[in-house]
Amino acid sequence: MRTSSFGSARGLTLLFSMLLLLLTPVCHLQGADGEATYVVDAARELGRINKNIYGHFAEHLGKCIYEGFWVGEDSEIPNTRGIRDDVIAALQQLNMPVLRWPGGCFADTYHWMDGIGPRDQRPARVNMFWGNVPESNAFGTHEFMDLCEQLGAEPYFAGNVGSGTPQEMSAWVEYLTYPGESALADLRRQNGREEPWTVRYWGVGNENWGCGGNMRVEYYTDLYRQFSTYLRDYGESDLYLIAGGPGGRNPEWLDVLMDGAGRMTDGVSMHYYTVPNTWQNKGSSLEFTEDEWFVTLQKALGIEDLIRDYISIMDRYDPRNRVGLIVDEWGTWYDPLPGTNPAFLRQQNTLRDALVAGATLNIFNEYRDRVKMANIAQTVNVLQAMVLTRAGEMVLTPTYHVFEMYKVHQNAQLLDAALETPEYEYDGEAIPRVSASASRDQAGTLHLSLCNLDPSSSVTLNCILKNADSGRIAGRILTAETMNAHNSFEAPESIGPAPFTQFEQTSNGLSVTLPAKSVVVLTIE
């Protein structure tokens, strides 16, 4: 039996839940095989879940931008000013709060002036990190802002530190946001945009320990200080600057960066990819055993330890919690699908990815104090995508459905809760079987997001609701018969959310049967 609890009154809550269980007339005993207990105190709001935790990332990589979002105005695929309508309509359902662009590794090769002005005069470049394919620059700054407006998402620009200059990045900010007269603002007007845009989020480089320049942290920290000096607020943008933090486990990088630049930044990024096997042989996105199912979820859950460790470093330099931990790349990374360009990072997306998404988002909710934004990689056709496209066709992935089901948590208040869960044991190792999160939205409705990570056994969750009446309850579930259930162009509706009714009200809450390998969201009015 594993116990996890969160909130400042963690110990007290647990004690309370023990007492409550002793008193409860419901016969779901702790420790019984396949039974979990979740005590939610609706009177204890722990703080707002920043909607930006449900953010996304789109890079000039493979078929994410070109073909995924951008087909051009002359395409037969229905589009609005070159951006495909089917993808926009699907993503609008997610209430996407923020979209990061143009990379990734691409960002530190990107010179933004290549992507403005008449399209037929934009220079073609080579996309050196992603297959040496031509980059037409047809999709640039104005197209990205149009995309964000069509999605209703806030833009998050990743600036070029690796091969760019402070002057170039500073000019990008001025071009986009300066309301007055200047050569750059006038150029923006000449290119069709009279009013300045509001662009708040700016990443100062990307993975500068790797593809962003292979720098040492001392050098990058100095560059961060230099670049950020010239990134100024014009108009109403109120810039939020994000320094390039560690990828995976690299506490030294974060430590030195916070020490040298913590006072000059609003956020520090971290990247966390879940690779089942090794970087050389990652494993198939579609054909996998329970062994890989287990290890994928085990590694995905590992982000929690890392977030905790990183928070403790940040707490030392920023005890008032001003600087956000921005997980601006996360998700599963498998071998490329056979027959595709390996540099395009195209993979399928199965029920396993849905469980990774559900459990990870529950973790982000829990650490919402510090985790102020997260951006899953990547929105269309790349890595753990929301949608896959093939010419004029599009399918929604299981991960898409989790983001759609979980959108109820955006900007809601996290509720104090304590979870006791049996373990999912596999081959001598164990992870918690249940992952859970509870919030209350602005209308007062409670939402529980629950995952059963075990692919074979259901679990009964005895949910005790304190200080709340469980009036009308409705539920949705994402599950399937097989671990690798997925949607394809041939069978686009194989897996999707369905109404969920396997719960009953009890004297102090509800009892929920979570089927094996499922994601459930309950709404309690």
- Smallest gap from Cβ 386 to ligand AHR, in A, equals 14
Q: How far apart are CA 359 and CA 343, in angstroms?
A: 28
Residue 326 contacts ligand AHR per CB under 6 A: no
Among the candidate windows 29-37, 101-109, 334-342, 446-454, which touches ligand AHR by CB under 6 A? 101-109
Residue 335 contacts ligand AHR per CB under 6 A: no
Q: Are 409 and 361 in contact (CB under 8 A)?
A: yes
Question: What DSSP line would sit under 461-511, residue for residue?
Answer: EEEEEES----SEEEEEE--SSTT-B--SSSTTSS--EEE--EEEETTEEE
Residue 137 or 384: which CB sits closer to ligand AHR? 384
- Smallest gap from Cβ 264 to ligand AHR, in A, equals 22
Residue 206 contacts ligand AHR per CB under 6 A: yes
Shortest-Cβ-distance residue relative to ligand AHR: 104
Q: According to CB under 6 A, which residues from 356 to 385 bind ligand AHR?
A: 377-378, 383
Residue 246 contacts ligand AHR per CB under 6 A: no
Q: How far apart are CA 354 and CA 518, in angstroms?
A: 9
Question: What DSSP line would sit under 416-463, residue for residue?
Answer: EEEEEE-EEEETTEEEESEEEEEEE-TTS-EEEEEEE--SS--EEEEE
Q: How far apart are CA 231 and CA 245, in angstroms?
A: 18
Among the candidate windows 102-110, 119-127, 283-291, 366-374, which touches ligand AHR by CB under 6 A? 102-110
Among all chains, which residue has been given the structure tokens 């000013």? 81
User: Which residues are tagged catalytic?
Assistant: 207, 329
- Smallest gap from Cβ 498 to ligand AHR, in A, equals 31
- Smallest gap from Cβ 128 to ligand AHR, in A, equals 12
Question: Residues 6 or more apart from 469 whose CB is under 8 A from it?
Answer: none
Residue 241 contacts ligand AHR per CB under 6 A: no
Q: According to CB under 6 A, which residues from 52 to 71 bind ligand AHR?
A: 59
Q: How far apart are CA 136 and CA 283, in angstroms?
A: 32
Among the candidate windows 99-107, 250-258, 357-365, 385-393, which touches ligand AHR by CB under 6 A? 99-107
Q: Total binding residues for ligand AHR by CB under 6 A?
A: 10
Task: Compute CA distances 421 → 352, 364, 477, whole Å.
Answer: 20, 19, 19
Q: How far apart are the first and last CA of the chain?
A: 30
Residue 254 or 377: which CB sits closer to ligand AHR? 377
**518 closest CA partner among 470, 446, 463, 461:** 461
Residue 329 contacts ligand AHR per CB under 6 A: yes
Residue 207 contacts ligand AHR per CB under 6 A: yes
Residue 108 contacts ligand AHR per CB under 6 A: no
Residue 328 contacts ligand AHR per CB under 6 A: no
Among all chains, which residue has been given the structure tokens 């259930």? 485
Residue 104 contacts ligand AHR per CB under 6 A: yes
Q: Residue numbers of the site for ligand AHR (CB under 6 A)?
A: 59, 103-105, 206-207, 329, 377-378, 383
